[in-house]
Amino acid sequence: MRWWIWLFIYICNVQGLGAQELLANVYGRQYTLLNGKWNAIIDPYQQGRRTAIYKNRVLRDKADFKEYAFEGGLRLNVPSDWNSQLSELKYYEGTVWYARKFEINRKSDENLFLYFGAVSYRCRVYLNGVQIGGHEGGFTPFQFNITNAVREGENFLAVEVDNTRTVDAIPALSFDWWNYGGITRDVMLICTPKDYISDYFIQLDKYKPDYIHAEVQLSARSVGQMVKIEIPELKVASEAFTDERGLAKKTFRVRNLKRWSPQNPKLYQVIVSSESDKVEENIGFRNLYVKNTRIYLNDSPVFMKSIGLHEEIAQRQGRAYSEQDAVALLSEAKELGVNMIRLAHYPQNEYIVRLAERMGLMLWEEIPIWQGIDFKNNDTRLKAQRMYAEMLKRDRNRCALSFWGIANETVPSEARNAFLKSLVKLCREMDTTRLITAAFDLPKLNPKTNTFEMEDSFIEELDVVSINKYMGWYHRWPMSPSEVRWNIALDKPLIFSEFGGEALYGQSGDATVTSSWSEEYQEKLYKDNLEMFRHIPNLAGISPWILFDFRSPYRFHPTNQEGWNRKGLISDQGYRKKAWYVMKEYYESIK
C-alpha cells in the first residue's frame, strides 16, 4: 500500500477512529464465535459509563451496593438488531450495554483478536474493566488485538452501543431505512500464530485474462520473509519475498483459467502461506472494464440486470445477519432473473457478499453517504475514508464485487466534490480493478431541448454514471414515456440505479391514479419506465428500487404504508406484486 495510506491508518488510530488492521478472510482462520444471548442494560441517559458499569465490580462488604447487574436481567441475541427483539426497543435511539464472559486457555504464543462484523452505529469496547477501543460506523468490521489484554481463565467483555443519529455521522440525521441498533453481525475470537498473514489481495489483471497479481501483507514488518500463493487447480505454486514493510508482491501467468461470470461463477481454491501461517479460501477471477458506453465482463459487453436490496428480513422486521438470511434474500433476487444486486445503501454482511459470488451475482457496494452529509467536516471525511478502507479490505478479494458506489443523491458543492474525490482517490489506490460509480438524482428536464440533462463536474471522476429518478412517482411524466429523452454523460455507461413506485400488496385500483397505491398502478409505472429506457442511448443497466418492501420511519401513510416503504416488488410478507412479473419478463428477454 502507498505511504499515505499507512499515514492515514496511523492518523485514524491516533484519533481512535478504530481504523486498525483488519484480518483478511476471518472465516478462513481459527476462530470461536461469541454469538448467542448476551446480558444487556438499556441506558437512555448514558449513566453506565459515568458509573463504570463495565467494571462489573464485586461488592466489597455488607454495606456496599451497586445499582446494576448484568446477570439476571435483559438478554439480547447477538448478532441481531435490538429493535426487533423487544417492542419497547422498536424506535429506541440511545445506548444499550451488552456484556458476556468468555474463557481463555491459551497454550502457546498465539495472537488473539476480538473481531466484530459490525455494530450499529458506534461503540466502545471494554475488556476486564478497561476500554480497549471503539468504532464508529454501523456497516463495516473492526477488530482489536487482545493478546496482551486477556487473562487466562474468565474474561468479562462489555460493549457500549449507541445508535443515536448525529449530523456528523455517515449516514447523518435522516435516511430512508430503519435505524437498527445493536451488535448486528458476528462477534469472533480469532487465533493466529505469533507471526501471521495479515492481509492479501489476489486478482486477475484488469485487462489480461492470464495474469494474476498478488499482494500479501505479513504481520512482521521485515524484509525477506517467504510467502507462497498456491492455486492447485491451475498448477500455481508461486513464491515471493517480503520487502522491509513485510509486503510481498508477485505477478504470475496462468493457463486455461475459467473466468468467473454470472453464467459460470467459477471459484478456485487459493492457499496463501508464510513460514508460520496459512489461510485459504475460494477466489474467482474475471476482467471488468468500461469501453466507450459499454461495461465489459471478460471481454464481452454485459447489461446490468440489477435490483436494489436492503439488508433486512421484512417478515422479522429486523436486519439480516446470517447465512440463512442471505439465502432467503438472494434466492428471491435470483428468481427475478438478475445478474447484479445493488447492496443499498451500505456494506452488507459478509454472508451476503460471499453467497452472491457463489450464485453468480455481481455486486454494487457503497458506504451510506446518503443525501445530506456534513461534507465540510474533516472528521466526517476521515470517517468516510476509514469506512471505505474497511469495506474494500473486507471485500476486495470478492470477484462478484463489480462497482464501488461513492455516494447516493448528493448535491454538488466545493466541499462535497473534495470529499467525494478523496474517496475516489483512496479507492483507486487500494483497488485498480473495479468500476467506480455514484447515484445522482439531479437530472432535470431542459425545456429548451425537452431532454433530461444534468450538470455535475464530479461525473468526470467516475467510470459509470448512475441515475435515480422516479418517473411516474415523485416526478410526473412530462410527455408520454416513449417520447422522454435523456442526455446524461453520453461518453460513459449509464446505469438507472433507482426507479419505481409504491403499491400495497393485494390492493387493486385505477392504474392511472398514483395515490391508489395499487398493484395495477405500480405495474403500469414499471411498463412506462421500461419503455422510457429503450430511448437512453448509453444505458448499460437498470436497478429497480427495490426487491422487498422495507421499514422506514419516513413512511407515514396510515393504511398504505404504516412505517413501510412499499416500493418493493415483493411485499413484506414475501408475496410478489404484479410489477415483479413485469421485471421478470423484461430480464428474461435480455440475453
Nearest distance from residue 537's CB to ligand GCU, in Å? 23
Nearest distance from residue 254's CB to ligand GCU, in Å? 40
Nearest distance from residue 496's CB to ligand GCU, in Å? 11
x/- mask, ligand GCU, residues 286-325, rule CB under 6 A, reads ----------------------------------------
Which triple of cell numbers denotes residue 31? 476462530
Per CB under 6 A, does 560 bind ligand GCU? no
Distance CA 46, CA 407 (A): 32
Q: Which residue has the cell 437512453?
A: 536
x/- mask, ligand GCU, residues 119-158, rule CB under 6 A, reads ----------------------------------------
Residues 6+ apart with CB under 8 A from 455: 412, 442
If 0-12 CB within 10 Å is exposed, 13-18 middle and 19+ buried, where does residue 63 land?
A: exposed
Residue 548, φ and ψ in degrees, nearest 5: -120, 145
Q: Which residue has the cell 440486470?
A: 305
Query: Please, which residues bridge with residue 444 across strands?
Result: 453
Do residues 569 and 525 lie in contact, with contact meaning Cβ atoms separated by under 8 Å? no
Residues 6+ apart with CB under 8 A from 533: 496, 539, 542
Nearest distance from residue 416's CB to ligand GCU, in Å? 16
Per CB under 6 A, does 572 bind ligand GCU? no
* Amino acid, single-letter form, for residue 50: R
Size of the site for ligand GCU (CB under 6 A): 10
Of 111 and 410, the one with the shorter C-beta distance to ligand GCU is 410
Distance CA 183, CA 123 (A): 9
How does DSSP assign 22-35, residue by residue?
A: --S-GGGSEEEE--
Of 190 and 439, the one with the shorter C-beta distance to ligand GCU is 439
Produce one character per residue of 68-91: b if its CB has 16 or more CB atoms within 10 Å, e if not.
Answer: eebeeebebbbbbbbbbbeeebee
Per CB under 6 A, does 543 bind ligand GCU? no
Tell me which residues in 434-453 interact with ligand GCU (CB under 6 A).
441
Nearest distance from residue 410's CB to ligand GCU, in Å? 11
Among 354, 567, 577, 578, binds ligand GCU (CB under 6 A): 567
Among 81, 136, 162, 176, binds ligand GCU (CB under 6 A): 176
Distance CA 316, CA 331 (A): 17
Residue 76: strand, helix, or coil: strand
Instruction: Tell me how many degrees the CA angle 306-307-311 measures, rounded to the nearest 5.
Output: 130
Nearest distance from residue 425's CB to ligand GCU, in Å? 24
Number of residue whose CB is nearest ligand GCU = 176
Among 408, 518, 529, 543, binds ligand GCU (CB under 6 A): 408
Of 46 and 174, the one with the shorter C-beta distance to ligand GCU is 174
Of 194 and 444, the one with the shorter C-beta distance to ligand GCU is 444
Nearest distance from residue 176's CB to ligand GCU, in Å? 4
DSSP letter, residue 54: G
Of 124 and 577, the one with the shorter C-beta distance to ligand GCU is 577
Nearest distance from residue 474's CB to ligand GCU, in Å? 7
Among 82, 545, 580, 586, binds ligand GCU (CB under 6 A): 545
Beta-strand pair 153-162/300-301: unpaired
Which triple of cell numbers denotes residue 149? 489484554
Of 285 and 346, the one with the shorter C-beta distance to ligand GCU is 346
x/- mask, ligand GCU, residues 342-361, rule CB under 6 A, reads ---x----------------
Among 468, 522, 529, 571, binds ligand GCU (CB under 6 A): 468
Distance CA 386, CA 382 (A): 6
Distance CA 272, CA 275 (A): 11
Q: Which residues bind ligand GCU (CB under 6 A)?
A: 176, 345, 408-409, 441, 468, 498, 545, 565, 567
